[in-house]
Chains A and B, each alone.
Chain A
Amino acid sequence: MTQTRTATPEDPAKVAAFEARIAAVESIEPNDWMPEKYRRQLVRMMSQHAHSEIVGMLPEGNWITRAPSLRRKISLIAKVQDEAGHGLYIYCGAETLGVDRAELIGQLLDGTAKYSSIFNYPTLSWADIGVIGWFVDGAAIVNQTILAKASYGPYARAMIRVCKEENFHKRQGYEIVATLANGTPAQKAMVQDAVDRWWWPSLMMFGPSDTDSPNTAELIRWKVKRKTNDELRQRFVNLTVPQAMAVNLTLPDPDMTFNAETENWEFGAIDWDEFNQVIRGNGPCNRERLEARRKAHDEGAWVREAANAYAAKQRASQASEAA
């Protein structure tokens, strides 16, 4: 059900009280009054986040059937399953804001909702599974550690739980990378190639540069976001460069230099044109990802209908027994 809200001007006293609570770093809970725009921003962020978990199952799921050992196969299934769990958990969090999951999924399937651009890149070798864990989960942790301090309680709590699992995924991914980097020449070449392909798209995961991010200022003021995209991106780079050095892998950026004064690893220019193209639907796998989600949804329709029909029959028979 869509709750339509009329654009009546909001009571200035309520807005002021809300802003004061935010300033006092209080947690905003589902039944508290909140400005309509705050609610909309949160629905947008949380649904994008949940969609990213669900679409993110596809590139990694692509290697479940080819994982090269039973141990790796089991941990990859468990990881992709965790992502389904995160998606479910965050959809439930979004439902506390008065939207429902079916509606949000409808927006994903009709292409009006966004999800993380990274999942529109293809997974081409087993090494991609390691590098995604290392880079993509690593970037997600940087983002979500900060989101765990977000002002909206259900989102913040979801992030604390999600982050614990993402940390495990990242360690697992880095362990795959280290194993390959210390493996045969072919394995080493495989993992370097994966690093080369995933590095720049991973940096793009933090979103547009601060100078070009339409939503950031307000989200920061409301403590939905606590750091800017560029701050988080820099933090990720600073964490990742030493990790790459530790396993003798090169990041594909000839401009990468350490600034001793700021203690930042300064990186080269991001290809924002590529980022914008992927966001607009022109990435390598945008069509395939949405098509896979639509196919699962359409082919599952009769199953969901059956479950509903069965539940209705059970309710009816319980009611007639009670009568």
Chain B
Amino acid sequence: MTGGPATPAPSIVPAPRQAPDALVEYLLRLGDDRLVLGHRLSEWCGHGPILEEDIALSNVALDLLGQATMFLRLAGQVEGRGRDEDALAYFREVVDFRNCQLVELPNGDFGFTIARQFLFDVHAVVVLDALSRSGNAELAAIAAKSLKEAKYHVRHSGEWVLKLGDGTAESHQRIQRAFDALWRFTPELFAADVVDAAMLAAGVGPDLAALQAVWDGLVRDVVERATLSLPHAAPPIAGRSGRQGSHTEALGHLLAEMQIVARSHPGAKW
């Protein structure tokens, strides 16, 4: 045999991927949920049904983006590869995002936005409440601060569920339709995988199964008072979840818009 050093033959067996750090993954989930939903809500700014709602939805968007900044910054620090919150927000691909699919769905009408927000806000309150007692002190501090905001958010979205559900025939029909369409995206909120199991074992994250019962009770209470009904248990969407990088097609369009300026000028400061 002659020639230089042999190049390894391409293998059909993929190289073992380094197991992702569970804490980084977990922080990305928390950060991406809030980044994507905050972005969606900000799309309403200037287009709300009433001026007061332009202000209210912007407030929620601001809180969520502030929380996303803190969670993503911490994720970057724990990861230790020099990525800050902007690198994570602006220079990752769709399949690298770890948000649940619920938050990436396009806004639809105001009823759809409110129903989506309410389902998320209740989730945020129960999860952040648990995380505020996390064994990870930095995570616990961010969760405690975010929890205060989330309590306002759920009050806002919950009041609108009541107003729309028990308002006019049209509003009732619209928000009922929204809950019907959104319900199949809710199992994902509590579907625990290896990352959640690792976080639970490490005393960092909560027992999602236990939280689901709390969430379900809180959601049902408001929905029933709003004279609405929830669909029967929806089968989870088949395949991998948003937590593992599988998303609806809507997320790619959202990111294309969000990332266009940053990516057009790599290395630039803003």
Measured CB to CB, the residues of A under 8 A from B are 54, 57-58, 61, 64-74, 77-78, 80-81, 84-85, 87-88, 91, 126, 176, 179-180, 183-184, 186-187, 292, 295-296, 299-310, 313
A307 interface neighbour in B35, B109, B167, B258, Cβ under 8 Å: B167
Please tell me if B166 contacts chain A, counting CB pairs below 8 Å.
yes
| B-side contacts of A77, CB under 8 Å | 42, 45, 58, 61-62, 65
Q: Are B55 and A302 neighbours in the complex by a CB distance under 8 Å? A: no
CA distance A262 to B171 in the complex (A): 63
**Given A57-B45, A57-B46, A187-B268, residue A305 in contact with residue B171 (CB < 8 A):** yes
Q: Are A61 and B51 neighbours in the complex by a CB distance under 8 Å? A: no
| A-side contacts of B261, CB under 8 Å | 66-68, 126
Q: In this complex, which of A65, A68, A87, A296 has the most chain B Cβ atoms within 10 angstroms of its Cβ?
A: A68
- 4 closest A-B pairs (Cβ-Cβ)? A300-B49, A306-B167, A306-B171, A303-B49
| A-side contacts of B42, CB under 8 Å | 64-65, 73, 77
B51 interface neighbour in A54, A66, A71, A302, Cβ under 8 Å: A54
Among residues of B, the one whose C-beta sits closest to the C-beta of A53 is: B51
| A-side contacts of B257, CB under 8 Å | 65-66
Q: In this complex, which of B85, B162, B258, B261 has the most chain A Cβ atoms within 10 angstroms of its Cβ?
A: B261
Number of A-B residue pairs at CB separation under 8 A: 145
Chain A contact surface mostly: helix
Q: How far is the CB of B54 from chain A (nearest CB, A)?
A: 5
Among residues of B, the one whose C-beta sits closest to the C-beta of A73 is: B65
Please tell me if B174 contacts chain A, counting CB pairs below 8 Å.
yes
B268 interface neighbour in A184, A299, A302, Cβ under 8 Å: A184
B110 interface neighbour in A66, A72, A303, Cβ under 8 Å: A303
Q: List 16 A-B contacts (CB under 8 A).
A: A64-B43, A65-B42, A73-B65, A81-B54, A84-B55, A87-B51, A88-B51, A187-B268, A300-B50, A301-B49, A303-B111, A307-B163, A309-B168, A310-B163, A310-B164, A310-B166
B45 interface neighbour in A70, A80, A186, A187, Cβ under 8 Å: A80
A65 interface neighbour in B43, B53, B58, B164, Cβ under 8 Å: B43
Q: How far is the CB of B166 from chain A (nearest CB, A)?
A: 6
Please tell me if B138 contacts chain A, counting CB pairs below 8 Å.
no
CA distance A73 to B72 in the complex (A): 15
CA distance A107 to B122 in the complex (A): 40
Q: How far is the CB of B47 from chain A (nearest CB, A)?
A: 5
Q: For chain B residues 68-93, which have a beta carbon within 8 Å of chain A? A: 68-69, 72, 85-86, 89-90
Among residues of B, the one whose C-beta sits closest to the C-beta of A91 is: B51
Q: Are B269 and A66 neighbours in the complex by a CB distance under 8 Å? A: no
| B-side contacts of A310, CB under 8 Å | 162-164, 166-167
Q: Are B163 and A306 neighbours in the complex by a CB distance under 8 Å? A: yes
Q: Are B59 and A302 neighbours in the complex by a CB distance under 8 Å? A: no
**Given A65-B43, A183-B268, A309-B167, residue A70 in contact with residue B50 (CB < 8 A):** no
Q: Are A81 and B168 neighbours in the complex by a CB distance under 8 Å? A: no
Please tell me if B265 contacts chain A, counting CB pairs below 8 Å.
yes
| A-side contacts of B72, CB under 8 Å | 70
Q: How far is the CB of A107 from chain B (nearest CB, A)?
A: 15
Q: Are B69 and A295 neighbours in the complex by a CB distance under 8 Å? A: no
Q: How far is the CB of A190 from chain B (nearest CB, A)?
A: 9
Q: In this complex, which of A61, A70, A301 has the most chain B Cβ atoms within 10 angstroms of its Cβ?
A: A70
CA distance A183 to B58 in the complex (A): 30
Please tell me if B98 contacts chain A, counting CB pairs below 8 Å.
no
Q: Are A302 and B171 neighbours in the complex by a CB distance under 8 Å? A: yes
Q: How far is the CB of B207 from chain A (nearest CB, A)?
A: 31
Q: Are B258 and A65 neighbours in the complex by a CB distance under 8 Å? A: yes
Among residues of B, the one whose C-beta sits closest to the C-beta of A300 is: B49
Q: Are B69 and A80 neighbours in the complex by a CB distance under 8 Å? A: no
**Given A64-B42, A306-B168, residue A299 in contact with residue B109 (CB < 8 A):** yes
| B-side contacts of A126, CB under 8 Å | 261, 270
Among residues of B, the one whose C-beta sits closest to the C-beta of A87 is: B51
Among residues of B, the one whose C-beta sits closest to the C-beta of A311 is: B163
Q: Are B45 and A292 neighbours in the complex by a CB distance under 8 Å? A: no
Q: Are A65 and B270 neighbours in the complex by a CB distance under 8 Å? A: no
Please tell me if B170 contacts chain A, counting CB pairs below 8 Å.
yes
Q: Are B55 and A70 neighbours in the complex by a CB distance under 8 Å? A: no
Among residues of A, the one whose C-beta sits closest to the C-beta of B35 is: A70
Q: Are A70 and B164 neighbours in the complex by a CB distance under 8 Å? A: no
| A-side contacts of B171, CB under 8 Å | 302-303, 305-306, 309
| A-side contacts of B89, CB under 8 Å | 70
Q: Are B58 and A81 neighbours in the complex by a CB distance under 8 Å? A: yes
CA distance A295 to B68 in the complex (A): 31
Please tell me if B221 contacts chain A, counting CB pairs below 8 Å.
no
| B-side contacts of A305, CB under 8 Å | 167-168, 170-171
| A-side contacts of B197, CB under 8 Å | none
CA distance A67 to B65 in the complex (A): 12
| A-side contacts of B55, CB under 8 Å | 81, 84-85, 88
